[in-house]
Amino acid sequence: MRQTMREGFFYSCLLVALAGLLAGIAHAQNARLAPTPPMGWNDCTFFSEKNLTEALVRAEAHAMATNGMKAAGYRYVNLDAGWEGLRDAHGNILPNSQFRNMKALGDYIHSLGLKFGIYSTPGPWVCGGAYTGSYMHEAQDARTFASWGVDYLKYDYCTANGVYRPDEIQSAYRKMYEALQSTGRPIVFSLCEYGWEQVWRWGTSVGGNLWRTAGDDQNNYNRMAYIGFDQDGLEKYAGPGHWNDPDILEVGNGALTANEEKLQMSLWSILAAPLLAGNDLRTMSPQTLAILINREVIAVDQDPEGIEGHRVAEEGPLEVWMKPLSDGSRAVGLFNRETGEGRITVNFNDIGIHGPARVRDLWEHRTLGIYQGSFSATVPTHGVVMVKVTPE
C-alpha cells in the first residue's frame, strides 16, 4: 500500500512538473512573438474604410521606414477593416478592388524591414456589415493570411456577438489561435473585444499576445484620458508576450494639444501599452514626429522587464504613476488631468526608493539633479512631467 501511495505521489508530482513545463513553453512562445509591446501604425482612427487602398498603405509604410519611426522601433504596418472583399468559389477570402495583390503588398512591407498586419473578426461580417469576416472559415483564412506573409492579426469581436453567446467568446478566439498555430507562421494575435468578460484574465489561455481593455479610443482628450487612467489595477495581467491594450494613439490626429499628446504618449509608455500610431505618417508635423519618436519615452514602454506601471498617488485631478525599469530605476509620470497648472510631488518612498536619487526629465532630455526624498514639478493643463528616477 505504501509503495502504491509513493508511486501515486511520484506520478502526481511528475504531472504537475510536466504541466508547468508546458505552460512555460507556451509562455516562451508568446514572449518570442511580442517580448515587448508591439509598435507600429494602424489606419482605423484617421482614415475611413472607404479611403483604405493599397497605394495608401504602401505610402504609409514608406514614410515609417524613412522618417525615423522605424529607427525608433516602429515595425508593424497594420490594415484595419476595409481591405476585405468576398470569397471565391472555394471559400478563399479575396481583397476588394482597392487592393490588387496582398502577397505583393506584404512583400513590399517586408522589403522595408517592416512587418505586415491585417484585420478580421470571428463574426460573419466586420463592424457595420460591409466586409467579410472569418466566421466558419477560420482555418482557411489563417492559411491565406500566412501565404500573404501576415505577421499580426487584429481579431475584432464585432458582429460575432450575433453568432456566439457571451460564454463562447473564449472558444471563438481559441479557434483562430489554433488555426494560426497550424500554419507554422509566427503571427502576433491581437484580441479586440473591448474588455468584455474580463479578457485580461483569460487572454493568454486563448493565445492572445495583446488584448483590448476598453472600448475604442477617440480623437478627443476626455475619451483618451478616461481610457488611459482607467487602466490601474490591470498591471498584474501584463508582461512579455501578453500585453494590456488601451487602443491606438491619437497623437497627430489634430484634436489633442501638444501637452495632451505628450500626456498620452507618456501614460501609454508607463502602461507598457502597444504604441500604434493612428495618424497620417506622410504629412505629420515635425512636432508630432518628435513626440512619436522620443527615444527616452519609448525606452520606458519597451523596457525588457515588461512591467506595467500603476498609479501610486492621487489628489483630485493630480496623479502620480510609476513603472519599475530593469536597471533598478523608476519611470514616473506626474499628470494634471484638469485645467490650470498644478504642483505635483512624487515621494520616493512611494516608488520604492529610499535615499537620494537622480532625476532626469524624459521630454526635456536633461538631468535635473540629485533629490532627497521627493521631487516636485509644476504641470500644465492636461499635461505631464515624465522623469526617470534612479537611486544614487
**Cα–Cα distance measured from residue 116 to residue 58, given in angstroms and rounded to the nearest whole number:** 11
CA distances to 57, 63, 275, 277 from 284, in Å: 16, 10, 17, 11
- C-alpha 315/C-alpha 140 separation (Å) is 53
Round to whole Å and give the CA distance between 218 and 254: 12
Catalytic residues: 156, 216
| Phi-psi label, residue 272: left if phi above 0, alpha if psi -120 to 50, beta otherwise | left
- Number of CB atoms found within 10 A of residue 377's CB: 19
Q: What one-letter code names the amino acid at 124?
A: P
- Which set of grid coordinates corresponds to residue 224? 483618451
Cα distances (angstroms) measured from residue 104 to each of 71, 80, 82, 146, 180: 24, 18, 18, 13, 21
Neighbours of 228 (CB within 10 A): 24
- Count of residues making up the chain: 392
184 Ramachandran zone, left/alpha/beta (phi>0; psi -120 to 50): left
**Residue at 91: amino acid letter:** G
